[in-house]
Structure 1
Amino acid sequence: MSDLTIPQMFHKTVQRHADRPAIGWMEGDRLVFLTYGELLARVREVRRGLASLGVNRGDRVAILSENRVEWAITDLATQCLGAVNVAIYPTLPTAQVEYLVRDSAARVLVVSDSKQLAKATALRPNVRTLEHVVCMNAKAPDGDVISFAQLAERGAGGAPSDEELDARVADLDPDETATLIYTSGTTGEPKGAMLSHRALLHTGWAATQIVRLDENDVFLSFLPLCHVFERVASHYLPLSVGAQIVYSQGAFAIATEFRTVRPTIFCCVPRLFEAIQDKVEEHIGKLPDRRRRLVRWAVGAALRGVRNRNRGGIGAVWPRLQALVADRLVISKMRERATGGRVRFFVSGGAPLNASTAEFFSALGAPILEGYGLTEIPVISLNRPGRARIGTVGEPLPGIEVRIAADGEILSRGPALMRGYFGKPEQTREAIDEEGWFHTGDIGKFEHGV
């Protein structure tokens, strides 16, 4: 179990990998990076800037933005102050954003562009606690809105000093709240799940116990960083091992990004994997007849091998030889075109993964590891590389306990569990029982004793 806080984790990584690429993004047709050392310098500037605005330990700093390097800088600066990040989906309408900013009692709201700034401007008079609005894009914002550059400039002056700010969080506890992530509110008002430093770092720690992850990995970040799955799996996890993170420009660019970024790990939801499968199959259907028959034979041979392994079989020699030949002649080229050719595995969560899609990617040599989790306890279980069972969500992560109640409900507890719902003790007691079990509301069962 990780006993580190996010600032401690980040500083340890910088000490080991200061000159390695940390976060990348596209500028025009060019991929640019900040190294870990450069990222730390930017984080320290923004941390000093936030401190100059009066942000203290435990204060809430809300982020209303798409994935971009300023999101990561703001988050890490907030964590390195001992403050709390309130992550808000940029797709939400103004009324819902206002509820989240007001409910969390945020003192600062950091927005990405003019569209999000318009929401901030509209809600600001209605939120008593909101003292400052910062806009990432604005060069010379109107009124008392602060640009991100101005925030960094406030911090570049050096007061308060890095030493003073480090001292403020020297005794930060891993079990202190690091973020509020709001549930969807489909059964009532959204609730802010209070996740600690330990909870957010647990997935990364647990992942390193079951698979090799290091500074040579490249994560392509596609899902919103305000989503708990992306946050723990494609933000804090790669930061903890010194890996590279590259922000996707979105669904329109993802096919090109697989070929240019060539990620080794990619976390997403089933609908994107299904869309990639559809595109590949559409491409196969347009091939000349002879080539199309060869490709379909190769895919069929690979699929037969996957289905045999999923049944627990070793397989006869001839089918295995067919699969090897298919990979050499066809599948390896398909894998290069569809995924960039370096993917070690994909991770899927957020909804059930179609078995045919899982089989297709396994046949392609880019297996999808399906997992399960919720906002309140981010990753409960995950299939393991080399022994994934299609149609299941795998085994509990190290340190996570799972129990099936008499009525079939999945119960879970462990270091990744939230501290509770912010300002809602009654709802917290309804969700977490006296023995510390979180009641997920989902139905499940164990297979083969796991």
Structure 2
Amino acid sequence: MNDHPPSHLISLIRQRSRNHSSQTAIRFSENHQWQSMNWQQLGEKIDCVSRCLLKDNLPIQSNIGIWSQNLPEWTIADLGILQTRCVTVPIYPTNTAEQARYIIEDAGISVLFVGEQEQFDGALKLLDTCECLKKVIVFDSRTDLKNCSQALYFSDFMASAPAESNILTERLENQSLDDLYTLIYTSGTTGQPKGVMLDYNSIGASFESHDLLIHIDHTDVSIAFLPLSHIFERAWSYYVLTRGAVNCYLKDPTRIAEVLPALKPTVVCAVPRFYEKIYTGVNTMIQKSSPVKRFIFKTAMKVGRTTMELKRQGKTVPAYLESLNQLADKRVFSKIKEKLGGRIRFMPCG
């Protein structure tokens, strides 16, 4: 491991925005079409969130909540919060109002970003019962705000940003690796949820550990389909973004199989269940095929395993085995790869 301290997440994001302004940063679906946002546009929106938040004179390390499914606004709000040296507190999009209430009260959240109608309706109930909660900002402009004076749309929130902020400049200059960047509440299966405190040192060390094992750059494409409210997807998304890859936001995780051929990702982080479903699907299909096809598949798997194990051990793969592996890839594995978009390099699992 390197001796120097890990770079600050916000510094890495701002460097990327400054030095690679025209490169695509994120992609997202809008009106059933995939749209792109470059680094300059992303950076401007993040700064806008920061300036808007600082109008309320939020103290350093204030806790601000995000209760939403995966949307580009999730990341924009999160990074905007972090630039002000405040702390993001994620809430699972499927949490009930009562589950959200515990987190909001325990963390003392005064400002809450929400995704769509479902989360807003939950937040609306909490405005009356949570004394700390003062403002709700809604990402989806189709949400009915029900004449709530403490709620506004994200677009209106952004439109109110001052042109500049000396406070933001000062906070960026004084950012510290020892600052908390997030409080992540456990599921509460063993009693009340506990807020896990993570600082910038931890995410920086995580990035450096990844760099020792893998390489990600601007030629890569990732899909954020696991909940950003969980540290796995959120940290992975920031890793790929800081390394220059394009991050694609999928609001509905059940659509992952549908979007893979369209987005053609090179890297996607997933949980074991995702691979189990692929494994089950492939094996079910094979069991229904002819004896000849089952034999070809079984042989291809044996050749593939042997080849991969030799490569994993750093040994030379014999020419005959390499030829067999190429044939297995052409006849069997390429068809599975195509279902994943055809460009997958690797898929980290957690």
TM-score, length of structure 1 as denominator length: 0.71
Residue by residue over 1:107-140, the C-alpha shift from the partner in whole angstroms, topping out at 9 and shown as x without a partner, is 1011111110111111222222111111111367
Question: Is 1:280–1:338's contact at 8 Å kept on the other side of the alignment?
Answer: no
Residue by residue over 1:267-304, the C-alpha shift from the partner in whole angstroms, topping out at 9 and shown as x without a partner, is 11100111112222333345566555534432343234
Matched, 1:148 2:150: no
SS in structure 1 of the partner of residue 46 of structure 2 = helix
Question: Is 2:261–2:339's contact at 8 Å kept on the other side of the alignment?
Answer: yes
Question: Is 2:46–2:79's contact at 8 Å kept on the other side of the alignment?
Answer: yes
Matched, 1:334 2:339: no
Among 39, 64, 68, the residue aligned to 1:65: 68
Query: What is the match of residue 278 of structure 2?
Result: 276
SS in structure 1 of the partner of residue 269 of structure 2 = strand
Task: Find the aligned partners of 2:27 and 2:312 in 1 and give their Cα distance.
Answer: 37
Structural mapping, 1:85-234, within 5 Å: 85-138=88-141, 141=145, 142-144=147-149, 145-155=151-161, 157-158=162-163, 161-233=164-236
State the superposition RMSD in angstroms. 2.3
Following TM superposition, by how much is the alpha carbon of 1:316 offset from its aligned partner in structure 2, in angstroms?
Answer: 6.1
Query: What is the match of residue 248 of structure 1?
Result: 250
SS in structure 1 of the partner of residue 268 of structure 2 = strand
SS in structure 2 of the partner of residue 128 of structure 1 = coil
Higher relative contact order (CA 8 A, sep 6+): 2
Task: Find the aligned partners of 2:309 and 2:12 in 1 and give their Cα distance.
Answer: 41
Equivalent residue letter for 1:323: N
SS in structure 1 of the partner of residue 98 of structure 2 = helix
Question: Is 1:107–1:130's contact at 8 Å kept on the other side of the alignment?
Answer: yes
Question: Is 1:180–1:192's contact at 8 Å kept on the other side of the alignment?
Answer: yes
Matched, 1:343 2:344: yes
Question: Is 1:110–1:133's contact at 8 Å kept on the other side of the alignment?
Answer: yes
Matched, 1:5 2:8: yes
Query: What is the match of residue 257 of structure 1?
Result: 259
Task: Find the aligned partners of 1:330 and 1:222 in 2 and give their Cα distance.
Answer: 27
Among 322, 325, 328, the residue aligned to 1:323: 325
Residues 333 and 309 of structure 1: is their aligned pair in 2 closer, same or farther, counting only changes over 3 Å? same
SS in structure 2 of the partner of residue 299 of structure 1 = helix
Task: Find the aligned partners of 2:343 and 2:334 in 1 and give their Cα distance.
Answer: 11
Residues 311 and 14 of structure 1: is their aligned pair in 2 closer, same or farther, counting only changes over 3 Å? closer
Task: Find the aligned partners of 2:258 and 2:289 in 1 and give their Cα distance.
Answer: 20
Task: Find the aligned partners of 1:178 and 1:5 in 2 and give their Cα distance.
Answer: 10
Task: Find the aligned partners of 1:16 and 1:206 in 2 and give their Cα distance.
Answer: 24
Among 16, 19, 22, the residue aligned to 1:19: 22
Query: What is the match of residue 41 of structure 1?
Result: 44
Question: Is 1:60–1:85's contact at 8 Å kept on the other side of the alignment?
Answer: yes
Structure with greater helix share of residues = 2
Task: Find the aligned partners of 1:226 and 1:36 in 2 and give their Cα distance.
Answer: 23
Equivalent residue letter for 1:151: F
Residues 300 and 250 of structure 1: is their aligned pair in 2 closer, same or farther, counting only changes over 3 Å? farther
Following TM superposition, by how much is the alpha carbon of 1:245 offset from its aligned partner in structure 2, in angstroms?
Answer: 0.2
Following TM superposition, by how much is the alpha carbon of 1:215 offset from its aligned partner in structure 2, in angstroms?
Answer: 1.6
Aligned length: 344
Residues 2 and 283 of structure 1: is their aligned pair in 2 closer, same or farther, counting only changes over 3 Å? farther
TM-score, length of structure 2 as denominator length: 0.90
Task: Find the aligned partners of 1:220 and 1:305 in 2 and give their Cα distance.
Answer: 29
Equivalent residue letter for 2:155: A
Residues 111 and 206 of structure 1: is their aligned pair in 2 closer, same or farther, counting only changes over 3 Å? same
Among 285, 293, 296, the residue aligned to 1:294: 296
Query: What is the match of residue 30 of structure 1?
Result: 33
Following TM superposition, by how much is the alpha carbon of 1:188 offset from its aligned partner in structure 2, in angstroms?
Answer: 2.2
Following TM superposition, by how much is the alpha carbon of 1:214 offset from its aligned partner in structure 2, in angstroms?
Answer: 1.4
Following TM superposition, by how much is the alpha carbon of 1:79 offset from its aligned partner in structure 2, in angstroms?
Answer: 0.6
Residues 304 and 27 of structure 1: is their aligned pair in 2 closer, same or farther, counting only changes over 3 Å? same
Structure 1 alignment gaps of length 5 or more: 350-450
Structure with greater strand share of residues = 1
Structural mapping, 1:435-446, within 5 Å: none
Residue by residue over 1:130-161, the C-alpha shift from the partner in whole angstroms, topping out at 9 and shown as x without a partner, is 11111111367322111111110111x42xx1
Residues 347 and 3 of structure 1: is their aligned pair in 2 closer, same or farther, counting only changes over 3 Å? closer
Residues 38 and 225 of structure 1: is their aligned pair in 2 closer, same or farther, counting only changes over 3 Å? same
Identity of aligned residues (%): 28
Following TM superposition, by how much is the alpha carbon of 1:308 offset from its aligned partner in structure 2, in angstroms?
Answer: 6.4
